[in-house]
Amino acid sequence: MRILVLGAGGYLGGHVTERLRALPDTHLLVGGRSPAADVTVDLASDSPYELARALAKAAPDAVVNCAGAVGGDAVTLTEVNARGPAVLCAALREAAPSARLVHLGSAAEYGPGTIGRRVTESETPGPAGLYGATKLAGTLAVSASGLDAVVLRVGNPVGAGAPPTALPGRVTALLAEAEAEEAGGGAYASGDGPGAAELRLGDLSAYRDFVDARDVARAVELAAVTPGPLPPVLNIGGGEALPVRELVRGLADVAGFRGRIVEADGAGSARSAQVSWQCSDITAARLALGWQPAHSLDASLDALWSSRTHTRAPDRVAAP
């Protein structure tokens, strides 16, 4: 089986690639602009014709699209998250119409949830910001493509290599910086007094559906190789809403941080202020793929902290 992964250099793309490389009787191809790519593609700028030529040469049995932008201006988000999937579908219809397409969507497409309720795939989406809106546009393009395609709507991924553009990775960067300061004689371990270490974050009152990056990769594997038609959209999450404070406190505990955690007023993201609750119903993924999460949040945090690098965090404020 020939599987082409787009966006393999990203956070989830890296986990997906590692998982798929271990599959027997599988030839894995990586698409991108790097010199190491097997297939030269750029979903943000390639024309459908250019992409179709590249896909025809690759002759994939399945294509996994992990390419996506979580930040940037409106043009970047639209080019990568909305235009990219649309162009990919057009090219696949031309060059590899029988290939299975697995596209990574986002639970942000749903928008604000109802406290105490898990959202199902039949819920009418109502994204709260531009990121969710552009991801939804990509999902609609895939669902309307007529291809053998499935969108995996991923919750809040946690695990090794999480980038500082989202809360888990950013808090890890801040804690790693504090750890490095302690090694240099700083106040990391003091815990009190005027010189004590302090982690200043945004509002942590929201609830999120966290899912281990390794569990996401396993869902992608199953979606790529499971025979027969699949539902157009499947939720991939932990299946429960946990307080963001629990994630931050758990990560601080893993790091051995004994300073203060301060929630600064007005420091949170606009999207987080609008979405206080997210929780996905993952029943459909269990029925269609035989998938369910296998890693606890504690295991995810252990993997995340173990993968840290001692680099300076992008800023001193983090928000979910």
User: Where are the chain's structural domains?
Assistant: 2-159+208-241+278-294, 167-204+243-276+301-306
DSSP annotation of 296 reads: -
DSSP annotation of 316 reads: S
pLDDT mean for each 10 residues of the chain (320 residues): 96 97 95 89 94 96 96 94 98 97 97 95 96 97 98 97 92 90 58 58 94 98 96 98 96 92 67 78 98 97 87 37
CA distances from 66 to 17, 85, 101, 102, 307 (A): 10, 10, 11, 9, 21
φ/ψ (deg, to 5) at 280: -105, 140
φ/ψ (deg, to 5) at 51: -70, -40
Measure the CA–CA gap between 161 and 169, rounded to whole angstroms.
7
φ/ψ (deg, to 5) at 229: -65, 145
Q: What sign does the CA torsion over 252, 253, 258, 262 have?
A: positive
Buried b (16+ CB within 10 A) or exposed e, 195-231: eebebebbbbebbbbbbbbbbbbbbbbbbbbbeeebe
Measure the CA–CA gap between 195 and 109, rounded to whole angstroms.
43
- DSSP lists the bridge partners of residue 28 as 3
Measure the CA–CA gap between 215 and 256, rounded to whole angstroms.
26
Q: Is 131 a catalytic residue?
A: yes
Look at residue 181 in the predicted model and tell me its pLDDT.
79
Look at residue 266 in the predicted model and tell me its pLDDT.
53
Buried b (16+ CB within 10 A) or exposed e, 143-165: bebebbbbbbbbbbbbbbbbebe
Look at residue 184 in the predicted model and tell me its pLDDT.
63
Q: Which CATH architecture has domain 2-159+208-241+278-294?
A: 3-Layer(aba) Sandwich (3.40)
- In 3-state terms, what secondary structure has residue 117? coil
Identified catalytic residue from 11, 49, 110, 131: 131
CA distances from 90 to 86, 135, 138, 230 (A): 6, 17, 12, 20
Unique residue bearing structure tokens 């297939």: 39
- In 3-state terms, what secondary structure has residue 247? helix
Look at residue 194 in the predicted model and tell me its pLDDT.
35
Q: What sign does the CA torsion over 138, 139, 142, 144 have?
A: negative
In this structure, what token pair is assigned to residue 303? 């993997």
